[in-house]
Chain A
Amino acid sequence: MASDIGAQLRKGVVEFCILGILQREPAYGWKLAEQLIDRGMIASIGTLYPVLGRLREKGLVAISEQAAESDRPRKYYSLTPAGVRQLAEFRAQWQPFTSTVSDLVGTGTPA
């Protein structure tokens, strides 16, 4: 049950985590996956691409082919202006949302 809760929470926010990473700098698939796997947000690269596909369908992320630092051509994902707006909206709502949830859920200790 605990892992279900974690999985549901991650599923709800992973798109915005990707948008946040991409706002810092465009990234290729594995670089994105590494950061998300290290933070426990996704299990493998298999989870990443369906999310990237949805973000592209929504016009929040664009793709371009560039040579990386290793000179290997790679597909880079970057934020579109719509993606920047979506991320800003998420940030504006996230803090009050987590505060409200924390207030309602409480800490489990008697008042």
Chain B
Amino acid sequence: MNDESARYLDRLSVALTDAPAPLREEIVAGVREELVGLDAAQASARIAELGDPLQIAAEALDGLPAAAPGPRSSPVYVGVTVALLVVGGYLLPVVGWLAGILLVVGSTAWTSREKKTAIAASVASAVVALALLFALRGGQAGEAGFVLFLVVPLVGNLVAGFYLGLKSRVSGGSARG
């Protein structure tokens, strides 16, 4: 499956966040069937025929009983997730940060691609911070290494958190542009 098809399925899945899970899975599986095995030109043509994922989702949701906001994409969930990701590691070393990562993984507010991007940025900043701590250990350089060990993850997680905030699609609204 090419990138355009994968992106389309991600957008469709996110657009269907408020749909009952069996319906969401059936629609996404049905559309995936249509895109698997097509070359780029064929996939583009089929995507154009299928139409805007938001429109598909709106029609799928039309007539269904109003669903309660999904708890794993509510504004509170998104806010707590981003906050834990950015400062959780300082409040409760390692565990707080890991809790933030787990909340990102479990949320329905982001596509799997968006989750992977944010988690990769967060993990990369942690790895860089650890590498700097070891590389600069001892003496005055050690103090600089420790400061960088504290600051680099903060910067990385701020970037990841900002990205997640920008991309989030909270229940009952559409922050997605």
Residues of A within 8 A of B (CB): 11, 28-30, 42-47, 49-50, 52-53, 70, 72-75
Contacts of A72 in B (CB 8 A): 33, 36-37
A46 to B27, CA, bound (A): 7
Those 7 A-B pairs whose CB atoms lie nearest each other, nearest first: A46-B56, A46-B59, A29-B30, A46-B60, A47-B59, A49-B27, A30-B34
Whether A50 lies near B63 (C-beta < 8 A) is: yes
A67 to B30, CA, bound (A): 14
- Of the A-B pairs whose beta carbons lie under 8 Å apart in the complex, a sample of 12, sorted by A's number, is A11-B63, A44-B51, A45-B50, A46-B55, A46-B57, A46-B59, A47-B59, A47-B62, A50-B64, A72-B36, A74-B33, A75-B29
Whether B33 lies near A45 (C-beta < 8 A) is: no
Question: What total of chain B residues lie within 8 Å of the partner, measured CB to CB?
Answer: 22
Chain A residue at minimal CB-CB distance from B58:
A46
Whether B37 lies near A53 (C-beta < 8 A) is: no
For residue B26, CB closer than 8 A to chain A, the reply is: yes
For residue B23, CB closer than 8 A to chain A, the reply is: yes
Contacts of A28 in B (CB 8 A): 30, 33
Chain B residue at minimal CB-CB distance from A52:
B26
Whether B60 lies near A49 (C-beta < 8 A) is: yes
For residue B139, CB closer than 8 A to chain A, the reply is: no
Contacts of A73 in B (CB 8 A): 33
For residue B177, CB closer than 8 A to chain A, the reply is: no
Q: Given A29-B33, A30-B34, A44 and B26 touching (CB < 8 A)?
A: no
A11 to B59, CA, bound (A): 12
Mark each residue of chain B from 30 to 49: 1 if its CB lies under 8 Å from any CB of chain A, else 0.
11011011000000000000
A74 to B50, CA, bound (A): 17
For residue B93, CB closer than 8 A to chain A, the reply is: no
Contacts of A43 in B (CB 8 A): 55, 59
For residue B22, CB closer than 8 A to chain A, the reply is: yes
Minimum CB–CB distance from A94 to chain B (whole Å) comes to 22
A28 to B34, CA, bound (A): 10
Contacts of B56 in A (CB 8 A): 44-46
Mark each residue of chain B from 127 to 163: 1 if its CB lies under 8 Å from any CB of chain A, else 0.
0000000000000000000000000000000000000
Whether B37 lies near A44 (C-beta < 8 A) is: no
Whether B23 lies near A45 (C-beta < 8 A) is: no
Contacts of A49 in B (CB 8 A): 23, 26-27, 30, 60
Contacts of B60 in A (CB 8 A): 46-47, 49-50
